[in-house]
Amino acid sequence: MLWALALAGCAAAALTFAVAFASDHVSDALVDAALLDWIVLPYVLAGVVAWWRRPESRFGPLMVAAGFGMFLSSLQWANWALPYTIGLAFDLLPAVLFIHVFLAFPGGRLEGRAERALVAAGYFAAVGLQLVKMLLGGGAPDNLLGVVDELAAANTVEDVQLFALSAISLAAIPLLVARRVRSGRPLRRWTELLVDSFAVGLVMIAVLLVAGSFGWSSFETIRRITFVTIGLSPVAFLIGLLSARLARSTVADLLVQLHADPTPSELPALFARALRDPSLTLAYWLPQYETWADLDGHPVTLPADRATTMIERDGVRLAALVHDRSLNDEPELLDAVSAAAGIALENGRLQAELRARLEELRGSRERVIEASQQERQRLERNLHDGAQQRLIALSLDLSMLENRLGGDPEARAQIDQARQEIAQSLEELRAVAHGLHPAVVSGHGLAVALESLAARAPVPVRLSVELEERVDEQLEVAAYYVVSESLANIGKHAQASSATIAVRRGNGQLVVEIVDDGIGGADSEAGSGLRGLADRVEALDGRLRVWTPHGGGTRVRAEMPCG
């Protein structure tokens, strides 16, 4: 079918020559016929190619129509009345067809209301008014449609036609420019070139029509230049198709690169190169979370102002390419890249999912630790405000009772005994409360709290706290536990003769370091409490490291981000 169309195009081109040479009213048959075919042939052929490549697009058929429309207009060169009349009827049609083609690029449809109105007006002026003109006797004597002989009226109609079409051509230029601006980044040079050639074509059509209506002497020259210009557009279009074809060879490169097992983080760059879109990004679909995510597992939303191409594997959605809208003009390329991407993206998706899970896990660990911390704090507070206060008040009451009792030594001794018991209970409660939550840390900060730890340490300790202001309470509590646990370990295992505690803030980190000069070789995993400390520190996004070479002392270092 398409072959037939192409052949018909060639036949039409040949026929144009025949008609031109046989014509008794064509001044320069060779030049005129050649110029006409310069438009007919490329439009028909480029249209056929476009039709073949993208059967779903209307752009190919439209181009073919423009080519044949041009051919039909050439029939007015004929010496016989019937073809002459047909040719005359289509005299101005090609101008509107070209405007239609330009505005319908690249999808083949007129997208805006303005475009549709403009083209409809154009067809009315070019065909509707043409018939009116011919009925009025314009184009006599061979015009078979001439009913009356109102030449003056026919001329007026013609002027209206020419001015209207000229205005329509000029009005189409801003629409074209707006589309070019909308279509995104200047990535596809041939697309730009094509749109530019459209614009020049429109200008030339407008000039030509005005020249025709004023009967300028240079009309012939302008007509030839216009024809040459209009013929350039399908040539540019063919070049564009060819370059898109060349782009498909980058898919082959992509396949080779994918074969070399790139890491998921390298993938976007590879796709960007294959699709020639440096702005390209990837989003992975995480079915468990029903969300799109980047490689780090952070949720992302697909931007509405960019085009996306879904990538599936065995019917399961894997990822989306987020790219420039202009890439939608090359669906074959997108299809090829998506098909090649499948396996490699599966790895990336797994990585994104893993990271998302880690993130979730980290969050829940943080929440668990924080919840237990808050609960401990609440219990400590309850002890402090409740039992401890009451016991002290009770002990005070007993003392005052004792004073009032006077000289009964047995009763006094009993009261004294009771007070001793209360003092003992208070001591135990204090230990429990402190074990639950070191209130001094949240109340007065790390520097104050560490003084007691250092003073009660099992070995002489040098303490240095370089904090200009307090840091987040959770960090302080964690740091406190790191120090107290490390000191306890020194007492139990290290056989050290001295130790240093250093707390400082640097590079957005709270750094806590405890160094002793003991025997080293501490078991950082088993039972020593270091594992619990590491959990606490890591839940705050920090890390705990322990160096403990045999005979070389032990160094415990916690680093926690503190904003």
Interface residue list for another protein (CB under 8 A):
381, 384-385, 388-390, 392-393, 395-400, 403, 419, 422-423, 426, 430, 433-434, 439-440, 442-444, 447-452, 455-461, 497-498
Judged by beta carbon, residue 354 or residue 396, the one nearer another protein is 396
Judged by beta carbon, residue 461 or residue 556, the one nearer another protein is 461
Judged by beta carbon, residue 7 or residue 432, the one nearer another protein is 432
Strands 316-323 and 281-286 turn out to be antiparallel
Residue found by looking up tokens 């009827």 in the block: 89
CA distances from 336 to 147, 278, 333, 340 (A): 60, 18, 5, 6
Provide the minimum distance between the beta carbon of 455 and another protein in the complex, in angstroms, as a whole number: 5
Rounded to whole angstroms, how far apart are CA atoms 324 and 519? 64
Provide the minimum distance between the beta carbon of 503 and another protein in the complex, in angstroms, as a whole number: 13
Instruction: Say if residues 447 and 470 touch (Cβ distance below 8 Å).
Output: no
Judged by beta carbon, residue 210 or residue 499, the one nearer another protein is 499
Provide the minimum distance between the beta carbon of 342 and another protein in the complex, in angstroms, as a whole number: 58
Provide the minimum distance between the beta carbon of 490 and another protein in the complex, in angstroms, as a whole number: 11
Judged by beta carbon, residue 267 or residue 453, the one nearer another protein is 453
For residue 482, give the 3-state DSSP assignment: helix
Judged by beta carbon, residue 233 or residue 442, the one nearer another protein is 442
Residue found by looking up tokens 């619990």 in the block: 532
Q: Which long-range contacts (CB under 8 A, 24 or more apart) does 119-126 make?
A: 121/164, 121/168, 122/95, 122/96, 122/165, 122/168, 123/93, 123/96, 125/92, 125/96, 125/160, 125/161, 125/164, 125/165, 125/168, 126/92, 126/93, 126/95, 126/96, 126/161, 126/165
Q: Which of 193, 225, 192, 191 is nearest to 206 (CA)?
A: 225
Provide the minimum distance between the beta carbon of 279 and another protein in the complex, in angstroms, as a whole number: 51
Q: Which amino acid is at 374?
A: Q
Write out the two tokens for 105: 């690029």
Q: What angle do CA 21, 27, 32 make, to 5 degrees?
A: 65
Strand order in 316-323's β-sheet? Answer: 299-300, 291-293, 281-286, 316-323, 307-313
Provide the minimum distance between the beta carbon of 263 and another protein in the complex, in angstroms, as a whole number: 49
Provide the minimum distance between the beta carbon of 485 and another protein in the complex, in angstroms, as a whole number: 18
Rounded to whole angstroms, how far apart are CA atoms 202 and 113? 19
Judged by beta carbon, residue 65 or residue 494, the one nearer another protein is 494
Provide the minimum distance between the beta carbon of 375 and another protein in the complex, in angstroms, as a whole number: 17
Provide the minimum distance between the beta carbon of 319 and another protein in the complex, in angstroms, as a whole number: 50
Judged by beta carbon, residue 351 or residue 388, the one nearer another protein is 388
Provide the minimum distance between the beta carbon of 415 and another protein in the complex, in angstroms, as a whole number: 11
Judged by beta carbon, residue 269 or residue 405, the one nearer another protein is 405
Within 13 Å, how many C-alpha atoms sit on residue 178's CB side? 10
Judged by beta carbon, residue 232 or residue 449, the one nearer another protein is 449
Rounded to whole angstroms, how far apart are CA atoms 351 and 355? 6
Direct distance between the N- and C-terminal alpha carbons of the chain, in angstroms, rounded to an integer: 71
